[in-house]
Structure 1
Amino acid sequence: MSDTFPHYYRVHQAAENRYEQVPYRRTGRSGLDLPAFSFGLWQKFGADYAFDKQRDIILHAFDLGITHFDNANRYGPPHRGAEQTFGRVLRKELSGYREELVLSTKAGGAMGPSPYLKGGSRKNLLGSLDLSLRDLGTDYVDIFYHHTPDETTPLEETASALATAVRSGKALYVGISNYKTDRAAAIAQLLKAEGVPLLIHQPRYSIFDRSIDQNGLAQLALDEGFGLIVYSPLAQGLLTNKYLESIPEGARAENSEFLDKSLIDETYRQRTAELVKLAESRGQSLAQLALQWVLRNPAVTSALIGASSIEQLDHNVQAAQGPELTDDELAVIDEFGVHGTGVVLR
C-alpha cells in the first residue's frame, strides 16, 4: 500500500516469529487451540486511557503470539468502551489478520436501568451481540459468552439464545463465565442437546483462590470436555510485590469491589513473602510463578492477562519459559498459598 495513504489505512506488519513464543493448548475436546496466555481488555482499555498506548499494547500482544483477545460489553469505562477501542485497532491495524484472531465478547451483566440491558434473556443476549459486532467492526466473534448467571431467566432460554448466536453465524463458539458447578453442568447438557457444545468456561482462579479445585468445576470441565480460561490469575495484583510493604497510593485495593483492604494484612504479607522467595529461587518473579501455577492444571486451557505497558506484558509472557514446577515446590506453594488469602471469596 502506498505511503501516500493516511496512517490509519496501513495494516500492522506482524512479527514473523509470533508463533514461536507462546505455546498453544487445545480447548477441551473441541478443535480450537488457544494461546496459553490470552489478553483481557477488562481494565485500562476504556476511554480513560490514551488510545495510542492501548493500541501499542494490543499490537505487541499479537506480535508475541497472543491471538485471543477477551472482551465484554461492560468493559470500559464507559460500558462498551473497550470493545470500541479494540474495534479501532482491528479496523486500522489488524484488519489483514482477522482470520488469525480469536475474538470473544460477553453479555449478561447489567448495562443500565432497562430490563432489556441485563440478564440471560434472548432479547438481551442477542441484542447485545449485535451491538458488540458493531463496536468491534466485525461480522462475527469467535466466542460469545453469557457473562453472569441469571437465575431469574430459564436456563433453557439462555442456552437457546447462545445456540442461536452460533446458528446465525454471528458466533463460532459459545461459553459461560462465573457459573457455579451445578449450573455449568446443566447448561452444558442443554447446549449439547441444541447441537452447540459448550466450548469454554471463564472462572476466577489463582494460588489464593482455588475454588475451581474445591467445588468440582475443574473436574467437570475435564469430564464434559470444555476448556477453562481463568481470570485474575494474579489475584488483582496480590500475587506480585505490589502490596508487600503497604498499599500504594492510587492502588486498585483502595477502591476495587474485588479487593478488601482489611484482608491485605500481616498474614497475607508473610505468606506472599515466602512465595516471593520460592519464585526468586527459580529465577522468576512471583507473577511469573503464579501464572505458571494456574497453567499446570490440566483443566486450564489459557490464563487471561492484562497489561498497562509493553514491558509488563513481556515480563508476564516469560512465565511460559519457566522450569517445570517440582513436587517440592508445589508443596511450598500449597503451604503458603492458602485459599482465601487476601481475596474476597465468592
Structure 2
Amino acid sequence: MPALSEHVIGLGTWQWGDRVFWGYGQGYGPEDLKGALEESLKAGVRLVDTAEIYGLGRAERLLGEFLEGRAKPFLVSKFFPYPWRVRRKDLIQALKRSLKRLRVEALDLYLLHWPWPPRSVAFWVEAMVEAYEAGLVRGVGLSNATEAHLEAALAVLSRHGVPLLANQVEYHLLHRTPEVTGLKRLMEQEGIRLMAYSPLAMGWLTGKYTRERPPGGYRNRYRNHPRLDAVLSALKTVAEQRRVAPSQVALAWVIAQGALPIPGAKNPRQAKANAAAANLRLTPEERALLDRASAVEGG
C-alpha cells in the first residue's frame, strides 16, 4: 500500500448518499457511484476519502459494499464531533461503526472532521492515539484545522511518537486561503499533507457554470467571487490550448501546488476525467496565468 505522500489524486465521496445537498437518488444512484469507483480504480486512483456523516453512513456502507472481495485502496474516513460526543470512547465507538460499514479491520487514515467544541482538538487527538495504538487506524490527521489546531495536535502526538499525516481543507483556484493565512506553509514545514476537498469549487471550475448560469443552493456561493471571471477565462484558455477539460486544468493546478485533490465523482465519466488530471503537467507559463487570475490580496 503506497504511503499517503505517494498519492497524487484521490476520489471523494461527499456526494454519495447525500439526498439534500447533492440530490442523491434523483440524478444518480448506486450503480452510477459503483461505476465511478471502478473507473477511478481502473485509472490508477488508489485513495478514497469518505466520512461517517456523508449520507449519515450511507457513503461508507456503499463503499464497503462496492469494495467487497477486492483489493482495498487507501481508505480515509472521519470522526464527526457531535456536541453530545464528549468521551474519548465515543470516538472509538464511532470508528468501529465506520469500520463495520466499510467492511475493513483498520483504516489507513482517520481524521477529526471539524475542530469544534465542546471538546478540544487535543482531547480528540488523544483518543485517536488510542485507536492508533489499538491497531484500528494506521494514521491520524485533522480536517478544517487552523495553525493553532495543528500545533495543539502536534504537541499531543509528539509525546506518543505518532505523526500527524494530513489536514484536509478547502483549497482551489477560488479559495487560496491556506496560502494567505500561512497554514499551507506550516504544513509544508511539518511534513503534513494538504488534502484538498472541493478542488473544483463545487462544480464552478468544471466549465459547466457561469454567473449567468449558476448552480443552485449552497453551491451558488462563488457566484459573486471577485476573481470568478478571471479564473474561468484562464481555465478556458489553458484547457483549449492543451485540449483537455477545464476541470482537469483546475485539478492539475492543485497538484502542482503540492496538494492532494480529492474530487468527487457521481458517474464513470466524471471519474475518468478527474483521474486523468494526475498526468497533466502544467507549464510554468500556464501556472503563472492561473496564479495571476486567482491571486488574492495578501496571497
Instruction: Tell me the TM-score normalized by structure 2.
Output: 0.88
More relative contact order, 1 or 2 (CA 8 Å, 6+ apart):
2
List per-residue Cα deviations over 1:101-130 (Å, max 9, x = no partner): 2111101254xxx713xx7x4133222101
Q: Which residue of 1 aligns with 2:65?
A: 88
The alpha-carbon distance between structure 1 residues 217 and 62, as it changes in their structure 2 partners (threshold 3 A), is same
Q: Which residue of 1 aligns with 2:47?
A: 68
CA distance in 2, matches of 1:260, 1:271: 15
- Are residues 1:314 and 2:272 paired? yes
Q: Which residue of 1 aligns with 2:245?
A: 285
What does 1:162-181 align with in structure 2 at a 5 Å threshold? Answer: 162-181=128-147
Match of 1:255 among 210, 214, 217: 217
Q: Which residue of 2 aligns with 1:115?
A: 84
Asked whether the 8 Å contact 2:37–2:271 carries over to 1, the reply is no
Match of 2:193 among 222, 227, 234: 227
Deviation (angstroms), 1:331 = 2.7
Pairs aligned (count): 290
The structure where helix makes up a greater share of residues is 2
Match of 2:7 among 27, 35, 44: 35
CA distance in 1, matches of 2:211, 2:274: 22
Q: Which residue of 2 aligns with 1:332?
A: 289
Deviation (angstroms), 1:165 = 0.9
Deviation (angstroms), 1:144 = 0.8
Secondary structure of 1:228's match?
strand
Secondary structure of 1:272's match?
helix
Deviation (angstroms), 1:203 = 0.9
Deviation (angstroms), 1:185 = 2.0
Deviation (angstroms), 1:64 = 1.4
List per-residue Cα deviations over 1:15-71 (Å, max 9, x = no partner): xxxxxxxxx9x8xxxx54442111111103456342222212112211111111111
Asked whether the 8 Å contact 2:44–2:275 carries over to 1, the reply is no
Q: List alignment gaps of at least 5 residues for structure 2.
A: 19-23
Deviation (angstroms), 1:227 = 1.2
CA distance in 2, matches of 1:66, 1:329: 25
Q: Which residue of 1 aligns with 2:76?
A: 104
* Residue range with higher mean Cα deviation, 304-313 or 151-160: 151-160
Instruction: Tell me the TM-score normalized by structure 1.
Output: 0.77
Deviation (angstroms), 1:263 = 1.7
Deviation (angstroms), 1:90 = 2.1
Match of 1:296 among 242, 246, 256: 256
List per-residue Cα deviations over 1:77-97 (Å, max 9, x = no partner): xx1110111111122xxx231
The alpha-carbon distance between structure 1 residues 50 and 32, as it changes in their structure 2 partners (threshold 3 A), is closer
